[in-house]
Structures are given as C-alpha cells and as structure tokens.
Amino acid sequence: RKEVEQDPGPFNVPEGATVAFNCTYSNSASQSFFWYRQDCRKEPKLLMSVYSSGNEDGRFTAQLNRASQYISLLIRDSKLSDSATYLCVVNPHSASKIIFGSGTRLSIRP
C-alpha cells in the first residue's frame, strides 16, 4: 500500500462548479498535512496547510479526518486558472521527509 494515495483523475468540471478531492495516508502517526498545486512542467507550490480543525482560504477548504486517515480539498466556484495537478502531502513525523501523493489532475472547462 502506498503511503499517500490519491485518485489520479482527471476531474473535468465546468467553470463555477464545486469539486472535491480526497487523499488517504497510511501512517496514523502522521503529524502535518498539506495540499500543493503543480502546473504542467513547473515545480509544486504550497496551496495550503491542513489543520486538525479544518481551514479555509478563499474558495479553498481543507479538512483532516484523523480517524479515517484522510484529508480533503474542496474548491468552490472553480475558475479556469484552477486547472492543475493537486498533490496531497504528508509529513509522517517531524524528523522525516515529506511524502507526496501522485496527484489529482483537475481540468476546468469554460
């Protein structure tokens, strides 16, 4: 089983739609969680951290469910510019490397 698993997609949704991605992780002791965004042939960039209580940043909402070991990302009122690959990122514990999922591709159509 992979340490971090994501649905690869692609998700193809119309502009203005709401779309959600889930990501599961295997290490129950994992401490910190992030969503990164990666555009084609570019480096990953931090989209948002994921806090235990859930957090929101504009149109983006991240949730953490420790009991079920998954994190989610919700994008509301999607824009064409949201088209990208979204990477789920887990830090198993503070003294280790960060582990990336394979990414979920999102394509927003006009």
Partner 1 sequence: DTGVSQNPRHKITKRGQNVTFRCDPISEHNRLYWYRQTLGQGPEFLTYFQNEAQLEKSRLLSDRFSAERPKGSFSTLEIQRTEQGDSAMYLCASSLDDRFLSSGNTIYFGEGSWLTVV
**Window contacting partner 1 (CB under 8 A); options: 11-19, 30-38, 68-76:** 30-38
Q: What is the phi-psi region of residue 18: left when phi exceeds 0, alpha when psi lies from -120 to 50, beta otherwise? A: beta
**Backbone φ, ψ for residue 39 (5° rounding):** -85, 160
Options 73, 87, 90, 108; binder of partner 1; rule CB under 8 A = 87
46: DSSP letter: E
Nearest to 34 by CA among 21, 23, 48: 48
Options 49, 54, 69, 72; binder of partner 1; rule CB under 8 A = 49
Our CB check for partner 1 shows the closer of 40 and 67 to be 40
Residues that bind partner 1 (CB under 8 A): 4, 6, 8, 31-34, 41-46, 49-51, 87, 89, 91, 94-103
